[in-house]
Structure 1
């Protein structure tokens, strides 16, 4: 499924719509270059999940994991600085991935051997939604959502229009 964004506000609005549809145990892997809008999308998702405005959503590049409380727990994870499977194991991602909240992982490619997403992830993940943010022009983005594995039941996010 493809979406176009002409501005950070468009990206945030799409995130709000997504956040309203997410349910416990959902996992979203976010892919995109620096500045593609991954954190902006997460800020919108947080709004859609009713995270209070006083819990300002920022990139967890240095803290690695930020937790927020809205209608569901939201775990925002940034793997940009992770260099090895050992560092990945030290994070204890399983506690987040298989909890009752929604897990959003920036730099999701780091979960795969050699960062090749056509291989099984290092940590077993069941159903997930991959969100690829592609920079088209200064503020224009294309967002592509893909469900893995594909299932006949799908996912509520794919009802977005």
Structure 2
């Protein structure tokens, strides 16, 4: 397992880490964003979108109620939130597989454990945990294969 651990002291540093990743992540990457409610998954995606050049921070919001938000023209980032999918059925997996198979699109998926059996094995896992301070976060990027980028 390959791993990078970053300590972020506030939302600005979480956004900056997402932005830095957006500037180097290969097209087609699937990112599994893990963390408790309010940990900063959507803030990370806001920075990612800026780094990819597809959206300003203010235009990226949580897709909890919509399930999916697409960013860029043509779409270069798909932000998916699976929190509301309690017990996935075939219809939930079918639409997600469509996104997972898009070769040029970056996929940022919150609550991926809801349908972990269809997540690609080469997905990049981004675990966001609360740190010791109120706004501190410990962000761990991990993957089975060596990273195709340098942070």
Pick one of 138, 141, 148 that aligns with 1:156: 148
Secondary structure of the corresponding residue to residue 23 of structure 2: helix
Q: What residue ranges of structure 1 are gaps of 5+ in the alignment?
A: 113-120
Q: Which residue of 2 aligns with 1:143?
A: 139
Question: Runs of at least 4 residues of structure 1 off by over 2 A?
Answer: 52-55, 87-90
Report the number of matched residues. Answer: 145
Name the CA distance, whole Å, in 2 between partners of 1:20 and 1:107: 24
TM-score relative to the length of structure 2: 0.88
Pick one of 44, 49, 64 that aligns with 1:46: 49
Pick one of 59, 66, 69 that aligns with 1:66: 69
1:129 aligns with 2:124: yes
**Aligned-pair distance for 1:54?**
8.8
**Aligned-pair distance for 1:108?**
1.6
Whether the 8 Å contact between 1:2 and 1:143 is mirrored in structure 2 is yes
Q: What residue ranges of structure 2 are gaps of 5+ in the alignment?
A: none
Higher RCO (CA < 8 A, seq sep 6+): 2
TM-score relative to the length of structure 1: 0.83
